[in-house]
Amino acid sequence: MAQFPPTLPPDGRIGQAVRDALGRLPQPREPEWADFIDAEGRLLPIERLRRESPEERDQRRAEVDLALVQRQALFRSVASSNIAIPQVVRDPANVFFGGRQAVDRQIEQLARRYAHRLRPTAAELSARRQFDLRSRANVLPAEEVRREILRRDDFMQRLIGAATKPRPAAEYPPHYQRMLDAAIRQAEADVLEEAAANQRTCLILPQRERTTIRIFAPGLPEDERRRLDQAAQFIGAITRKGRLSDPRIAVGINKELAAGAMRYRNGAIEFNPPTQGSGFIHEMAHHLQHHVSGLGRDSAEWRRRVSKGGKLQLMGVDSQGRSWYYRERTDGRAWLRDYMGRVYFRGDPMLLRVGNIPEEDNDRMEVVSCACEILFSNPVEIARHDPELVTLLIDSLRSNVP
């Protein structure tokens, strides 16, 4: 592999310009020699380096690294066989002579090869099927559901830990190695996202036991309606029929809210598009908190126990422009999301700054809403971190007591 000179151009305006640009990347890094030159090896003027867009810089680095590795392969071929055409000796570096597209294809192949190594085994698929068959026929206890979520995650973590990451036959120059590393990370992230969706199926009740959430939401944009329906389907699938005293939820747009903000109030959800993520699940879970018998009381008692004596911390301003506080946990754990520990007051929270704490509003909290969001996005996170809470929540939603 061609080694870049260890000494960069002298520190100064040009060096700082490149450092500034690379510092703004999603994954900041230190400059390399190839960040300062073009594909012909010429040092670029500072004006060019400053006005380059991230896309233009990426394209240049791809061309520079390709030119350098091609020259190295040609030199090695001449030194070993006195022939300046490496293709005739089937050198693994031949891929670099196919241009950037050839290297991109090889990176995609290596990433797919890695993803294939992360496929569940036949024995694991069989174990999942056995659980799924029982869960489709019976309302299983919450602890059994939690253990199955953990078991599936344990399998995936062992699989990832044992899987070797593929390496190219010819060592990549830095730019392409970073691309390969990113492709491997993305392949792993895709597998973990699929695993989270698979864990989520453990929570689903038998079809006959599910609640039908009745949504009243005329005139919503198509993408918002799609997210809303997904949320209603999930909340209904984990809530046993008869547990939700009022399955009706009205949903409407309120332009007075900040863009992207949502709120639940008196059985209705208001929002101002565009929404993102699992916001509708969060707000529907507030409906569960108020309309599933005992859920609000039990989750409030759990919150009181795990944060008893905890300090109040100011976290900033919420989507509606109000200062908000959370109470630290005192049970040796941290909140999975600080917002789970949010404390509401019956008076002005600004008074906290002068030591006059208003009475807390214990009817309002974010434990159930945040927990349901996490159950949807990454079930194992809460199943592993807060077993008591997740068991309380699932048991409450699955109870056969109206």
- Rounded to two decimals, what is the model's pTM? 0.86
In a domain, 279, yes or no: yes
Domain boundary among 172, 203, 234: 203
Is the domain of 191 the same as that of 159?
A: yes
**141 and 178 assigned to the same domain:** yes
Give me the residue label for tokens 């974010």. Answer: 366
83 pLDDT higher than 50: yes
CA 187 vs CA 105, 182, 184, 193, 379: distances in Å: 15, 9, 5, 10, 20
Is 72 part of any domain?
yes
Task: Look at 360 and 226; give whichever has higher pLDDT.
Answer: 226
Mean pLDDT of 248-252: 96
pLDDT the model gives residue 345: 86
What pLDDT does residue 349 have? Answer: 64
Please provide the average confidence, as pLDDT, over all residues in the chain: 90
| Domain-terminating residue out of 47, 76, 98 | 98
Q: Give the domain extent around 302.
A: 208-398
Q: In what order do the strands lie in the sheet with 342-343?
A: 312-317, 323-327, 342-343
Q: Would you state the pLDDT for residue 255?
A: 94
According to the model, what pLDDT value does residue 400 have?
87
What pLDDT shows up at residue 6?
46
Q: Rounded to an integer, what is the distance from CA 377 to the centroid of its chain?
A: 8
Look at residue 130 and tell me if it is in a domain.
Answer: yes
Same domain, 119 and 41: no
6 assigned to some structural domain:
no
Any domain includes 212: yes
Determine, yes or no, domain membership for 186: yes
At residue 9, the pLDDT reads 55
Number of domains in the chain: 3
Residue linked to tokens 């999603």: 26
pLDDT at 303 over 80: yes
Give the least confident one: 22-26, 145-149, 197-201, 395-399: 22-26
